[in-house]
Structure 1
Amino acid sequence: MEWLTGPFEVAFVQRALWSGMLVSLICALAGTWVVLRGMAFFGDAMSHGMLPGIALASLLGVDLLVGAAVSAAVMALGVGVVGRTPRLSQDTSIGLLFVGMLSLGVIIVSRSQSFAVDLTGFLFGEVLAVRPADLAHLGLAACAALLVSVRGHRSFVALAFDERKAHTLGLRPRLAHTALLCLLTLAIVASFHIVGTLLVFGLLIAPPAAVLPWARRIPVIMAGAAGLGMSATFFGLLLSWHLHTAAGATIAATALLQFALSTLAAALRDRLARSAPPAPATDHPHPEYGHPS
């Protein structure tokens, strides 16, 4: 048991575990809608598009969260503006802004030799350097994400499955879409310091995608995704401690491994269901249609 519990007796590993659990909760709330609406490319672009704001904030001595939030807001606003061009699809506008923001970030980084050394921490996170203040910020972000998810649940469901019906029901799909973008931005900005701008995408997408083949109801998907994210945090930190690997990358890799195992298990389940012999017919009356003819 020492192998299992020993690492978590250290204070900074405990803070890393708590921060990872809070990040898992936030990412589960936002990531479920990302998976259901097919917004994975947008989520990836958002996580990469924060680089210019982070770089500028670092060079100017401003809080990195502020720079990340401003950059993510610019990215989300830009996608909305460029996406209104009739001849450009949403994927095209996202791709153009993604390349533009990433290029701008690299240009800013290249202007400072000292900043290039710290780039790895911004890209891959510093989960083992979490401070108590960071936990407080994550707690507030988790409460805000939970509030937005509960208040906007009905609108988000209608938006995800039938946007025209959402408009007919008076659920204001454009406002719901804006709120969903805010939820996604909150998840990415709150999480990048823990697992990095590149690896936040793993916790945002992999746990909900792993639960999706096994659950029908959206709250169940969210709860399962949060549970998988928390377990990925625990085992990722454990493996990182014993194997001396990067903690953030190991957590993300564990989440992706969970997705791979879930996909294989679901494929095996479906194959067994197809190969199973059909159930024998009975003469019992059908509860709705009476005796079979």
Structure 2
Amino acid sequence: MSWLTDPFSLEFVQRALLGGVLVAVLCAVAGTWVIVRGMAFLGEALAHGMLPGVALATVLGVPVLIGAALSAVVMSLGIGAVQRRAKLSYDTSIGLLFVGMLALGVIVISHARSFATDATAILFGDILAVTSADLVVLAVAVVVGIAAVTLTHRSLVALAIDERVARVLGLGPRLAQTVLVGLVTLAVVASYQAVGSLLVVGLLVAPAVAARQWTERIPSTMVLAAGIGAVAVAGGLLVSWHAATAAGATIAATAIVAAGVSWLLRLATNEVRRRVPALLPVPA
């Protein structure tokens, strides 16, 4: 069993595992609502829309997390403003801001000869370089995320069912929508420096999709998604160690594979349940 335990005997791998598990929990909390509301595009847009802030922060020598946070907040506010003022659909607003922010980030990078951040680090981060400070940031973000969804659970459920009914019942659908966008923003920004933008999206969507195959209630989906995400992190780190592949990319791929396996298992289970009654003897 040394092949299983040896990688995790190293301190930096242990920090990577703990950081990845915290990201998995935070992304499970946010990702469940993203899946329920059909807002996966928002997570991707926010993750990649942080590029201008990351680029400017790197050029100016400011902490990358601050640049990423400001960029994500600007994009979140911009989506709402474009949707309200221009009377565009939510997806259209996200698409416009996503492309605009991505283009701005590329422009900043192309004009900054001193820009030294590797594109791979932007996409996948460096989970093996997670520090104790990163773990503290992630732990605080997890607590804030869980508190936010707990306090606004009824409003979020009402928003997911029918926004008009939620408005009539006075359950604050606009506040719930703001909390949801803020929750996704929190997950993306808090996780970015540790695991990069692409891995955040992978853990935001894939574990929740996998868990949704087996659960009906929102809290159950969150718990199962967190478990699947944690297993994907551990499995991805293990595969990465032995196969000498990029840790972040391997974790993202493992999460996607988990979603596919969950879907196939659900199909097989449904097929077995459908055939079993036909095989039972008919009572005389």
Q: TM-score range by the shorter chain?
A: over 0.9
Does the 8 Å contact 1:155/1:171 carry over to 2?
A: yes
Q: 2:44 matched to which residue of 1? A: 44
1:197 matches 2:197: yes
1:253 aligns with 2:231: no
- Map of 1:12-31 to 2, 5 A cutoff? 12-31=12-31
% identical aligned pairs: 56
CA RMSD between the two structures: 1.7
Q: CA deviation at 1:29?
A: 0.4
Inter-partner Cα distance in structure 2 for 1:120 and 1:60: 20
**Separation (CA, whole Å) in 2 of partners of 1:148 and 1:128:** 29
Q: Structure 1 residues 117, 183: closer, same or farther in 2, change over 3 A?
A: closer
Q: CA deviation at 1:10?
A: 0.6
User: 1:276 Cα shift?
Assistant: 3.6
Answer whether contact 1:109 1:116 (CA < 8 A) is retained: no
Aligned residue for 1:32? 32
Moved more, 76-85 or 183-192: 76-85
Amino acid at match of 2:105: G
Secondary structure of 2:103's counterpart equals helix
Return the alpha-carbon distance in structure 2 between the equivalents of residues 40 and 168 of structure 1.
27
Q: Which residue is 1:290 aligned to?
A: none
SS at match of 2:196: helix
- After superposition, the Cα gap between the structure-2 partners of 1:51 and 1:86, relative to the gap in structure 1 and judged at 3 Å, is closer
User: How far has the Cα of 1:42 moved from its partner?
Assistant: 1.2
Q: Is 1:62 aligned to 2:80, yes or no?
A: no
Structure 1: gaps of 5 or more residues = 283-293
One-letter identity of the residue aligned with 1:20: G
Where does residue 119 of structure 1 map in the other structure? Answer: 119
Unaligned 5+ segments in structure 2 are none
What is the aligned partner in structure 2 of residue 96 from structure 1?
Answer: 96
Scaled by the length of structure 1, the TM-score of the pair is: 0.92
Alignment coverage as a number of residue pairs: 283
Shift of 1:280: 8.0
Tell whether the 8 Å contact from 1:50 to 1:68 is kept in structure 2 after alignment. yes
CA distance in 1, matches of 2:155, 2:270: 32
Structure-1 separation of matches of 2:76 and 2:87: 19
Instruction: Write the distance in 2 (CA, Å) between the matches of 1:248 and 1:86.
Output: 38
Taking the aligned partners of 1:211 and 1:123, their CA distance within structure 2 comes to 25
1:180 corresponds to which residue? 180
What's 1:78 paired with? 78
Larger radius of gyration: 1
The question of 1:143 aligning with 2:153 is answered no
Question: TM-score, normalized by length of structure 2?
Answer: 0.95
Once residues 187 and 63 of structure 2 are traced to their aligned partners in structure 1, the CA distance between those partners, rounded to angstroms, is 17
How far 1:20 moved relative to its partner?
0.4
